[in-house]
């Protein structure tokens, strides 16, 4: 027999579970804030090329490009650790673009933050739908 | 680890003053440190945490990698070809191991 108190406790448990995605996004926001040092980030200026649907979350091809950028940082806001990679372009770089393959634990936004030489930041995000997650779970 | 094997593709013919694409792939498990083995013990993190490409004493790309980069990390980027021929690629592994590979550009 389930008492009223137990029912309420279960409801509380469910509420906690639904809160988790929000805290994960906050982790990504924190990681981005740590990277930018709290500076404001404007939208645009970065191009992300990613598949709309990735069947295998273990290797998702991602390409980032930000003309003139000194660095591009890549984040996956739904992963257990949101940081993915930081590309620093040196004086011998032929362009400000790079491609790699990343792991995505599930359907989520991939965020690219570009650091411009004047110290300003620009970002773009793209949603990738993942059929099978790539976090070993 | 002994199974770290870099593979690099340079442009077939290089021309000074032109940007050219370089593709690199290094065989590596990129163990995230999040997985557990069959006994429930966490498998410690073992990833390539940094990759650099240098050309003529200057940096082309300096990349920081996290566990979210796939196994056998693949990186594709562009180099601005100058006079130098040697391109140096370096992978830094957790635990301090460093793998270096030097390739020569062929000018056509």
Arithmetic mean of pLDDT over chain B: 93
* Inter-residue contact A46 to A112 (CB < 8 Å): yes
Residue B3 confidence (pLDDT): 75
Closest approach of B104 to chain A, Cα-based (Å)? 16
Q: What is the mean pLDDT of residues B81-85?
A: 93
User: Could you give the 3-state DSSP secondary structure of residue B88?
Assistant: strand
CA quadruple A128, A131, A135, A137: dihedral sign: positive
Say whether pLDDT at B107 is over 60.
Answer: yes
Say whether pLDDT at A135 is over 70.
Answer: no
ipTM above 0.85, yes or no: yes
- Check B77 against A101: CB less than 8 A apart: no
Percent of chain B past pLDDT 90, that is, above it, reads 85
- Closest Cβ–Cβ partner in A85, A91, A97 for B63: A85
Say whether pLDDT at B2 is over 60.
Answer: no
- Check A83 against B66: CB less than 8 A apart: yes
pLDDT digits 0-9 by tens, B36-70: 889 999 999 999 999 999 999 999 999 999 999 99
- Taking only Cα atoms into account, the Rg of chain B, rounded to an integer number of angstroms, comes to 16
Say whether pLDDT at A61 is over 70.
Answer: yes
Residue A11 confidence (pLDDT): 63
Residue A13 confidence (pLDDT): 58
pLDDT digits 0-9 by tens, A65-114: 999 999 999 999 999 899 999 999 999 999 999 999 999 999 999 999 99
Residues of A in contact with B18 (CB under 8 A): 94
- Burial tier of A39 (Cβ tally within 10 Å: 0-12, 13-18, 19+): exposed
Mutation choice for B interface testing from A91, A93, A97, A104 by most B CBs within 10 A? A93
Residue A15 confidence (pLDDT): 52
- Closest Cβ–Cβ partner in A86, A91, A95 for B19: A95
CATH of the domain at B59: 2.60.40.10
Tell me the CA distances in angstroms from B78 to A7, A17, A63, A111, one per residue in order: 59, 44, 12, 22
Partner A contacted by B67 (CB < 8 A):
yes
Residues of A in contact with B24 (CB under 8 A): none
Structure tokens at A109: 């936004």
- Check B70 against A103: CB less than 8 A apart: yes
Number of domains in chain B: 1
The domain in which residue B50 lies consists of 5-105
Q: Which helix H or strand E contains A12, and what residues bound it? A: helix A4-36
- pTM for this one? 0.85
pLDDT digits 0-9 by tens, A9-27: 666 555 554 444 444 578 8
Q: Which residue has the higher pLDDT, A100 or A7?
A: A100
Partner A contacted by B78 (CB < 8 A):
yes
Q: Which domains does chain A have, with CATH numbers?
A: 4-130 (2.60.40.2470)
- Check A94 against B62: CB less than 8 A apart: no
């Amino acid at each position: 027999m389930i008492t009223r108190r137990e029912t309420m406790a279960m409801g509380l448990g469910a509420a906690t579970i639904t809160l988790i995605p929000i805290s994960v996004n906050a982790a990504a926001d924190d990681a981005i804030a740590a990277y930018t040092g709290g500076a404001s980030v404007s939208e645009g200026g970065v191009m992300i090329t990613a598949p709309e649907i990735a069947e295998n979350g273990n290797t998702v091809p991602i390409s980032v490009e930000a003309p003139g950028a000194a660095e591009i940082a890549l984040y996956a806001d739904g992963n257990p650790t949101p940081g993915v990679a930081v590309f620093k372009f040196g004086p011998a770089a032929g362009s400000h673009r790079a491609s790699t393959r990343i792991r995505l634990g599930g359907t989520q936004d991939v965020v690219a933050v570009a650091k411009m030489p004047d110290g300003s930041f620009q970002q773009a995000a793209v949603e990738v739908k993942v059929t099978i997650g790539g976090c070993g779970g | 680890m002994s199974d770290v094997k870099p593979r690099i593709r340079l442009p077939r013919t290089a021309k000074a003053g032109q940007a050219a694409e370089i593709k690199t792939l290094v065989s590596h498990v990129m163990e995230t440190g999040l997985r557990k083995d069959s006994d429930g013990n966490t498998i410690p993190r073992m990833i390539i945490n940094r990759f650099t490409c240098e050309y003529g004493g200057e940096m082309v790309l300096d990349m920081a990698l996290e566990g979210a980069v796939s196994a056998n990390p693949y990186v594709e980027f562009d180099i601005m070809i100058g006079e130098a021929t040697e391109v140096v690629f370096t992978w830094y592994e957790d635990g301090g191991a460093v793998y270096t590979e030097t390739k020569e550009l062929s000018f056509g």
